Amino acid sequence: MDSNSIVSIVSKFSKAWGQMLGSVDVAIDLGTAVTRIGIVGKGIVLKEPTFIGLNTKTNEYIFFGEEAKQIYGKTPNFIKIVKPVENSILSDFDACVALIDAFTKRAVFPYYAHNRLIRTGLNAYVSIPSSATEVQQKATAEAVKRVGYVRAMLIQKPFLAAMGAGFNIFGQTPIFVVDIGAGSVEIAVIIMGGIVASRTLILGGDNLDRHIANYIHLKYGIITGELTVEGLKPSLLNYENHDASATIRGKSLENGLPKSVKITSSDIREAISPAINQLIDGIKEVIETLPPEIVDGVFRTGAVLTGGLGTCPGLDHFISSEVKIPIIASQSSENATMQGLLTLATQKDVLPRILV
Ligand SMILES: Nc1ncnc2c1ncn2[C@@H]1O[C@H](COP(=O)(O)OP(=O)(O)OP(=O)(O)O)[C@@H](O)[C@H]1O
Ligand SMILES: [Mg+2]
């Protein structure tokens, strides 16, 4: 018997064994800023920053998630901290495999500890941007399979965000969803399990952070660390005319020394206003492309806001006043995509209709 036949027999045996043990459905949302993992029937079991650290001397990944983010920008040259997802798409394949592997071992294995064979029965339900190309879809599925998942089922993010926000995406009422994450904004109108109009904008939280960093640079003359800037949105950004302030430290452009400056909510609103205007234009463009029968429904039911930016106080009402349709932030805004994965993974009858 040649080695290929042996591999094939072993693979068939392990698959059958995995099925005998009962497969485990795992939901994976590899976001630009945050990776979430859930187990169907148990809920969310991991929420960690999408950061990984490589020791370039040994070529080993040694820091994962929060521990990698904590040392971002503070490491010696031979330790490289990377964000392996950019604009919501895998940008560093090997790093993504290593990250999913580490997170799976950390969060999924404890539930099935001491039983390596169960690993053959792990199914992955994975979120994917609606704009992902076929090559990007294949890379995402391949990354998950490399970790040891038997199957990787990809589902487009707008379906997941809408489902996670509590809507029936298979019904005849149009669902308008605007998911604002760290890497991209997904704007889509869904009806009867299909997308009738959509746009993806590279305008997520990371893009807003770049606007904020530029603004601070120009107005206050300091260079700030990426993580310092990222921390400003949750504490200062709101559209409720409530002005908060925070003192941050950066490097003075004048003399290169550390310098403190006070940043206010109105600074942040002003800094990101060009990006928010682009977002508003994107939503208007999607509305303009809708067929007349659907546009009427959308004006009555409005849109739901999901994603990390959905938790920004008053952003929903601000956008609503500009685009003239009701917009409400989802209660489960931040985790909507993950909730959608966990819900859809249980709906085996309708699932094939929306798998990529
Ligand atoms: N209260 C808040 N106000 C404003 N921004 C916030 C708030 N809370 C989180 N964010 C921002 O939300 C973003 C993270 O959102 P989310 O977890 O949806 O992103 P992601 O899923 O990692 O990215 P993506 O789905 O785009 O790849 C970050 O940019 C973060 O700074
Ligand atoms: Mg996301």
Domains by residue range for the chain, with CATH: 21-159+339-353 (3.30.420.40), 163-203+273-331 (3.30.420.40), 205-270 (3.90.640.10)
Atom from ligand 1 closest to the CA of residue 29: 21
Output the CA 38–ligand 2 centroid distance in Å.
14
* Banded model confidence at residue 18, pLDDT cuts 50, 70, 90: very low
181 lines ligand 1 (CB under 6 A): yes
Q: Is the CB of 32 under 6 A from ligand 1?
A: yes
Per residue in 45-101, pLDDT (tens digit) is: 999 999 999 999 999 999 999 999 999 999 999 999 999 999 999 999 999 999 999
Question: In which band, very low, low, confident or very high, does the pLDDT at 116 lie, cut at 50, 70 and 90?
Answer: very low
Q: What's the CA gap between 290 and 312, in Å, rounded?
A: 28
Strands (E), the chain: 24-30, 34-39, 43-49, 52-55, 60-64, 79-82, 85-86, 89-90, 122-128, 151-156, 175-180, 185-191, 194-201, 222-223, 245-252, 258-264, 303-306, 327-329
Is the CB of 201 within 6 Å of ligand 1?
no
The tens digit of pLDDT for each residue in 211-270 reads 999 999 999 999 999 999 999 999 999 999 789 999 999 999 999 999 999 999 999 999
- Evaluate: CB of 180 within 6 angstroms of ligand 1: no
User: Which residue has its alpha carbon closest to ligand 1 atom 11?
Assistant: 308
Does the beta carbon of 276 sit less than 6 angstroms from any atom of ligand 1? no
